[in-house]
């Protein structure tokens, strides 16, 4: 804190220290300036920005999708449920989607039963964020891990 001083004196003081005179608040009366290494400041800000972008990217990837069909075999069903279970254990949200193909669309009741069965299989480790609902030619449900809540 050098106090109020003429700009020339502040600039001279910054040059003596080998640093820059940076205007912090130009609208204040008198304007507020700071003596600092501006290159280092910009470098540090860039690193912080990159870190925050990296963190944002990892949060976006916390949604995993498991796709089913109405006539899924028992082994395939168990495999998909186990994959969903692993995702939930890692703390991800899981989107369960069931796609109707061709004539399967006539048997929406079978699709709803299958989705309810999947949700019941995962109820010990998950919380239902959105129950199974029909959207166009598919049924979609969202589950999240209990450990996240």
For 51-95, what is each residue's pLDDT tens digit?
Answer: 888 777 655 568 899 999 999 999 999 999 999 999 998 888 999
Q: What is the mean pLDDT of residues 9-37?
A: 90
Domain shared by 68 and 130, yes or no: yes
What's the pLDDT at 62? 82
Q: How far apart are CA 47 and CA 93, in angstroms?
A: 29
Residue 132 in contact with residue 141, Cβ under 8 Å? yes
What's the pLDDT at 149? 43
* Most distant CA pair in the chain, distance: 84
pLDDT of 123 > 80? The answer is yes
Question: Which residue range is the domain that position 32 belongs to?
Answer: 7-58
Residue 107 in contact with residue 66, Cβ under 8 Å? no
Boundary (domain end) residue, out of 39, 58, 77:
58
The fraction of the chain above a pLDDT of 90, given in percent, is: 59
Q: What are phi and psi of 72, to 5 degrees?
A: -75, 140
Asked if residue 2 is part of any domain, the answer here is no
What's the pLDDT at 67? 95
Residue 109 in contact with residue 126, Cβ under 8 Å? no
What's the pLDDT at 107? 85
What's the pLDDT at 119? 94
Query: Number of folded domains in the chain?
Result: 2
CA distances from 14 to 3, 23, 33, 96 (A): 14, 12, 11, 61
Q: Tell me how crowded residue 87 is: count the other CB atoms within 10 A of its CB.
A: 20
Give the position of tokens 């480790």.
125
Domain shared by 41 and 73, yes or no: no
The CATH number of residue 36's host domain is 3.10.20.80
Nearest Cα to 66, choosing from 35, 41, 43, 99?
A: 99
Query: Given phi > 0 = left and psi -120 to 50 = alpha, else beta, which region is 91?
Result: left
Q: How far apart are CA 135 and CA 98, in angstroms?
A: 10
């Amino acid at each position: 804190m050098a106090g109020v001083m003429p700009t020339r004196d502040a600039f001279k003081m910054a040059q003596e220290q080998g640093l820059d005179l940076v205007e912090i608040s130009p609208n204040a009366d008198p304007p507020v300036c700071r003596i600092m290494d501006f290159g280092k400041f910009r470098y540090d800000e860039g690193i912080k920005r990159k870190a925050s972008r990296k963190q944002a990217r990892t949060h976006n990837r916390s949604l995993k999708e498991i796709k089913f069909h109405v006539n899924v075999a028992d082994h395939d069903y168990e495999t998909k449920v186990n994959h969903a279970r692993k995702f939930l254990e890692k703390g991800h949200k899981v989107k369960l989607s069931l796609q109707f193909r061709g004539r399967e669309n006539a048997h929406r009741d079978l699709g709803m039963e299958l989705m309810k069965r999947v949700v019941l299989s995962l109820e010990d480790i998950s919380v239902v964020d959105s129950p199974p609902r029909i959207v166009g030619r598919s049924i979609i449900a969202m589950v999240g891990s209990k450990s996240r809540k």
